[in-house]
Every structure is written in C-alpha cells, then in structure tokens.
C-alpha cells in the first residue's frame, strides 16, 4: 500500500530563501542516507526540503515538506528517519497543478503526530513562492526525466474534478472489484476515521497554538502599557504633591514677610521726630531691597510652579495616550480573533466539529463558538455562569466538592477538617454553612 511507484518520477528539492538551491533524484538522496556521499555545503545546518512525485507530463502529484539535519562533515544525521513515501498518504490534499489535487503532507497536514516536528509549513497557496519554485523546477527538468506531453483530452481530464459516486458493496461486485467485507471493511473504516480525525486534530492544534501566541503577545503588551500607565500616575501624584508643597512654602514666606513688614512699620511710627529723616531714608532703602527680594522669590516660585504645571499637563497627555494605545491594542486583539481564528473555528463547526467541556457536576457541555474566547480568558468564571453562581462561590464549592471537610478555624489556628455532607450542586452550596460540621456551625 505504501510502496513507491518506481515508474513515477520523484525527486528531493532543497530550499534556501524560498528558492530551490539543489535538486537530487530520490535514489541520489537515498545514497546520502546510506552514507555514500556527504553534502559539505549543508554542514551543521537544518535544511528545508521537499519530496515530490510527478506524473509522466512532469506535473506535480505529491509533495512532502520535511526537515533534514546535516552534521559538521555534511553527512545526514544518523538519527534522521522519515518514511517520505509513506507520508504522502498520511496527509491531505493540496492545489491542482495539472494532474488533479496533489497529495500533500506538511506540519499542519500530517495524521501522525510523531512526524510533525520533522515537517515544516510552506505557503500553501498555489501562487506562493514554494509551490511556484517547485513547478518551475519541474518544468526546467534539469534531472532529465522522460516527459510525455498530454493530449487535450488528457489535460482536460486532469483538471476536471472527478465525482466519486457512493456505491453499495453489491454494485462494486458488478463493476468487477471485490468489495471489502467483515473485518477488512471494519479495519478500512477505522483507518479512514483515524486519518480524518488526526488531520482535524493537527489543524486544531496549529490554530490553538497561534491563538495562544496571539493571546500571550497581547497580554505582554497590555502588561507593559499598564506598567507605564502606573508609573505615569505615580509621577503625576508626586508632581501634584510637590506642587502643593511649593505653594504652601510660598504662602508661609509671604506671611513671614508680612509679619516683618508690620514689625518695622510699628517701630517707624514710634521713631522720635529728630530721627525721622534718617528713618525715612533707611525705610526707603529697605523697602526697595525688600521689594527686589520679593520679586526675585516670586519669580523663582512662579517658574517652579509653571514647570510643575507643565510637567503635570505633559504626564496627563502621556497618560491619555497610553490609555488610548491600550484601548487600540484591545480592539486589535479582538479584530485579529475575528479575522483569524474565529472564521476557521466557525468553519470547523459547520463541518460538524464541536468543542466539548467536561467539569464536575455539569458533565459534558458543548461550548458555542462565540463563547470560546470567554472560556479561554477565565474558565472558572465561565463554568460558574453555566452553574448559575458567582465565580467566588463556584471556587469555594469546588474546594468543598474535592475535599468535603469542615473549613472552620480552631483556636490554635488549625483547620477542623471534620467530614461534612457532600453538596453536589453548587447552587445549593452556602459558604460558612455547607463547609461546617455540626460542632462548628456558627463559627
């Protein structure tokens, strides 16, 4: 079933920067594996490669995108062991390049999980750089395969989708093909279901990993912005306090100056007449000096206050900018979910795939597509909502359900831990009552 068709042209193509860097016949690649010839250009490297099968017209019929590692002398690593020919039948289907939909195996389209880490993910679009490079290389035919040009009828048949009718076993017999019966049919159906399930699991794992990476990136950016926002708020609070202290200090200085002014004013009024001229001269001198000092102090405090006011305004603007950036990030995160993962999940749902959740008491529950994000953000809150209780009550009940013992605290600070009746329904659970034994009720 998995033997290579010796009449079908097959080759190994090595990629570098999305272009074909080297071509080998499949038999030449087997010689590398057997240790006959090294590849010194690939020494100490892990290379992206593809195993391809072609038809007689050199149209692409199968492709396996795999990774191969070379040691420091250019030999293929001894631990490398990948059944390339078998993997063609363990994947899915890809674009049509003139011979019908190709058989395709890559990281996301492999039913055998143990091989996925040794496969890589190309651009799967027909116009993508990887498939275009493969088609261009096949048309160039530098490996010297025999080419048979297709007649117009053959070319039309190759690109015309074939409708495979659903036939009953007796109809297969009439067509001259022995039907599968008994254990053979059961084994065939088991392998078919396993292959389809494995492919679906692989796709689901891929998109789940992308969702987790997107969520982690969003959380890191949100955490960074929240940290910057917290620092700005703290700096704003400090600047506001400093500004208040400066204003209070200025008011105190003005009060002191007012007291000094009143003291000397009183002494001047009590000065004898014969000293009035001298006193007036001294008064004018100190008045001018005092006014100059007051103006200097007022100017300094005014500059400090204006600087603080400007700093507060700038920090307010920065705070608003950070908050706006955080809101945009949340909007972008939701948009990426709506445009990226959610359409794929909806497609899976339309194909009949459902997302099941199992939790104590509620058992198995189907999660709607629209609720997946809410469940991923806070599973306990989502389950608590399904149960009709608050998250805090659900968590307390879950602790009780897993270990139904008294949670009352003894005088020495230890927990009572006497057995209590199990409350299996969270809506019937009462904190402080259901988790207390008869002796500790009311404590």
- Taking only the tens of pLDDT, the chain with its 443 residues reads 334 444 678 999 999 988 999 999 998 888 888 877 788 888 889 999 999 999 988 999 999 999 999 988 888 888 888 999 999 888 888 899 988 899 999 998 888 888 999 999 999 888 999 999 999 999 999 988 888 876 554 444 444 443 333 333 333 333 333 444 566 666 666 666 666 666 666 667 776 777 777 777 777 877 888 888 888 788 888 888 887 888 888 888 888 878 877 777 777 667 666 666 766 777 777 778 888 888 888 888 888 888 878 888 887 788 888 888 877 777 776 666 666 666 767 777 776 677 777 776 667 778 887 777 778 778 888 888 888 889 899 889 888 888 889 988 888 888 888 898 988 888 888 888 888 898 888 76
111 in Cβ contact with 199 (< 8 Å): yes
Give 337's DSSP letter: I
Q: 3-state DSSP call for residue 11? A: strand
* Confidence (pLDDT) at 163: 36
* Confidence (pLDDT) at 413: 83
80 in Cβ contact with 52 (< 8 Å): no
* Confidence (pLDDT) at 246: 82
* Confidence (pLDDT) at 19: 92
CA distance 386 to 374: 12
CA distance 129 to 69: 23
* Confidence (pLDDT) at 54: 93
Bridge partners, 377 (sequence order): none
CA distance 316 to 324: 12
* Confidence (pLDDT) at 52: 95
Please identify which residue in the block is written with the tokens 């490297």: 45
* Confidence (pLDDT) at 361: 64
16 in Cβ contact with 100 (< 8 Å): no
Helix axis angle, 276-336 to 182-269, nearest 10°:
170
- Of 141, 4, 22, the closest CA to residue 12 belongs to 22
Domain boundaries, the chain: 10-160, 213-350, 359-440
- Of 423, 382, 387, the closest CA to residue 432 belongs to 423
CA distance 91 to 401: 44
pTM: 0.38
Rg of the chain over all Cα atoms, to the nearest angstrom: 40
| 76: phi then psi, degrees, rounded to nearest 5 | -65, 135
Please identify which residue in the block is written with the tokens 């189907």: 366
79-85: long-range pairs with CB below 8 Å, 24+ = 80/33, 80/118, 82/115, 82/118, 83/2, 84/51, 85/2, 85/3, 85/4, 85/51
- Of 412, 430, 413, the closest CA to residue 421 belongs to 430
171 in Cβ contact with 179 (< 8 Å): no
Q: 3-state DSSP call for residue 40? A: helix
169 in Cβ contact with 184 (< 8 Å): no
Instruction: Dihedral sign for Cα 85, 87, 90, 93, please.
Output: negative
* Confidence (pLDDT) at 190: 67
Residues 6 or more apart whose CB falls under 8 angstroms from that of 338 comprise none
């Amino acid at each position: 079933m998995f033997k290579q068709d010796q009449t079908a042209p097959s080759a190994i193509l090595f990629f570098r920067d999305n272009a074909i860097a080297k071509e080998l016949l499949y038999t030449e690649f087997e010689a590398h594996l057997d240790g006959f010839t090294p590849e010194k250009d690939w020494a100490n490297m892990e290379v992206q490669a593809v195993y391809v099968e072609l038809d007689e017209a050199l149209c692409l019929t199968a492709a396996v995108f795999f990774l191969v590692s070379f040691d420091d002398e250019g030999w293929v690593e001894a631990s490398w062991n990948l059944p390339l020919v078998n993997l063609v039948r363990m994947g899915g289907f890809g674009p049509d390049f003139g011979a019908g939909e190709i058989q395709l195996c890559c990281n996301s389209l492999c039913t055998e999980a143990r091989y996925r880490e040794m496969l890589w993910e190309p651009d799967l679009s027909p116009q993508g750089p990887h498939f275009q490079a493969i088609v261009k290389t096949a048309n160039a035919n530098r490996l010297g395969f025999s080419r048979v040009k297709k007649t117009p009828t053959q070319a039309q048949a190759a690109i015309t989708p074939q409708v495979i009718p659903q036939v009953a076993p007796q109809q297969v017999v009439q067509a001259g093909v022995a039907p599968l019966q008994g254990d053979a049919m059961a084994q065939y159906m088991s392998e078919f279901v396993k292959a389809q399930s494995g492919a679906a699991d692989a796709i689901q794992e891929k998109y789940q990993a992308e969702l987790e990476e997107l969520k982690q990136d969003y959380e890191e950016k949100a955490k960074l912005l929240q940290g910057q926002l917290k620092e700005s708020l703290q700096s704003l609070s400090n600047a506001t306090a400093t500004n208040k202290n400066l204003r209070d200090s200025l008011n105190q200085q003005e009060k002191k100056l007012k007291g000094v002014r009143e003291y000397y004013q009183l002494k001047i009024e009590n000065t004898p007449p014969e000293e009035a001229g001298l006193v007036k001269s001294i008064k004018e001198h100190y008045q001018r000096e005092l006014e100059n000092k007051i103006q200097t102090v007022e100017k300094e405090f005014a500059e400090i206050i204006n600087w603080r006011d400007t700093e507060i305004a700038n920090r307010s603007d920065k705070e608003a900018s950070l908050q706006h950036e955080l809101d945009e990030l949340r909007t972008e995160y939701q948009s990426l979910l709506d445009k990226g993962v959610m359409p794929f999940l909806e497609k899976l749902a339309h194909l009949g795939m459902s997302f099941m959740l199992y939790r104590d008491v509620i058992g198995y529950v189907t999660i709607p597509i629209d609720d997946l994000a809410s469940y991923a953000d806070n599973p306990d809150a989502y389950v608590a909502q399904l149960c009709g209780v608050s998250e805090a009550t659900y968590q307390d009940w879950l602790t009780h359900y897993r270990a139904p013992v008294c949670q009352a605290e003894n005088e020495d600070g230890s927990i009572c831990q006497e057995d209590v009746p199990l409350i299996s329904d969270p809506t019937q659970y009462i904190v402080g009552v259901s988790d207390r034994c008869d002796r500790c009720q009311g404590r």
